[in-house]
Amino acid sequence: MAKALIGYLNSDLRDPRLTAENSRLRARVRELEALVVRLSEENDRLVAARAAELLVDTAPRVQEMQPA
């Protein structure tokens, strides 16, 4: 499993192509992780905003339904 996460490394680590490819893939993983964090935060903001909208929309109706 660790090899799948880190990337399979050939026994000859002196090959500059493998080193460059590994570096490129690690950078891409960092970019994707940052994107996941950003999208998660944006989703949380949108959910909170929608929940607030729903509370505002239903508050007058709840008051109207109460007995006089």
The pTM (predicted TM-score) of the whole model is 0.58
Q: Is residue 44 part of a domain?
A: yes
Q: Is residue 33 part of a domain?
A: no
Q: Is residue 50 part of a domain?
A: yes
Containing domain of residue 67, as a range? 39-68
pLDDT values of the chain reduced to their tens digit, one per residue, 68 residues: 566 656 565 555 678 888 899 999 999 999 999 999 999 999 999 999 999 988 887 765 555 566 65
Query: What sign does the CA torsion over 17, 20, 21, 22 have?
Result: positive
- The number of beta carbons lying within 10 Å of the beta carbon of residue 47 is 10
**Domain total in the chain:** 1
Q: Is residue 17 part of a domain?
A: no
C-alpha angle 31-7-3 in degrees, rounded to nearest 5:
125
